[in-house]
Amino acid sequence: MNTALVRRTGTAAAAAALVLASASTATAATWHHHDATHDVVSIGMPRTGADSPSDLETTRAPSVGRVDIDRIRVRHGAHMLFVRLHTRSALPSSMLTSEFLIRTPTRTYDVERDDFEGFQLAAITTDAGPVHCPQVSIAVRPARHTVLLTAPRFCLGKPKWVRVAAALELDHGNRVYVDDAEGNRLDRRPHFSPRIHVG
């Protein structure tokens, strides 16, 4: 990918794909999209091992609802960027990765939160390296089926517009269950929202 959503498993990386669908609406400062349900993808290692992401086993997992995104809403305000994901079922409280790509006119930011067995790790990076911005947060509310990214615009270079991609991933042993906010991951390439101008 150009700037991939990548979930690092123990032995290999799983490449992301975010497919832009037609059921979306945008205004100058907001955009929302209703994603298809039952489109979770299971990514796992073949029994013989794998040397590259192209060797990974990818199958559909329509019964997995805990990371099945059904809605995404983006609000690009004068001071803050908000991205809210909603899932079909209650989110897991552990073994969950929430990842967002935020593309601006100058660069792409990768914002990620990992929740594993009581530990939380959060980071924001670009192709130039890590970005120090403690004001950026990702809040996971399992019972409400929501994940909320909050990012001050100054942490993103105060862009005139953003394009957003997002994915949720559930680590389950030697398999990862993943869904993208704007499609599925079968084609393994990220598709972003339209440009969402500040307003």
Task: Give pLDDT tens digits for 54-67.
Answer: 567 888 999 999 99
Instruction: Output phi, psi for 54, to 5 deg.
Output: -70, -15
> pLDDT at residue 7 above 60?
no
Residues 72-94 have a mean pLDDT of 96
Residues 73-102 have a mean pLDDT of 96
Task: Give pLDDT tens digits for 133-157.
Answer: 999 999 999 999 999 999 999 999 9
Q: Mean pLDDT lowest for which of 119-123, 166-170, 176-180?
A: 119-123
As a whole-number percent, the residues of the chain with pLDDT over 70 amount to 78
> pLDDT at residue 179 above 90?
yes
Mean of all residue pLDDT scores within the chain: 83
Residue extents of the structural domains in the chain: 6-197
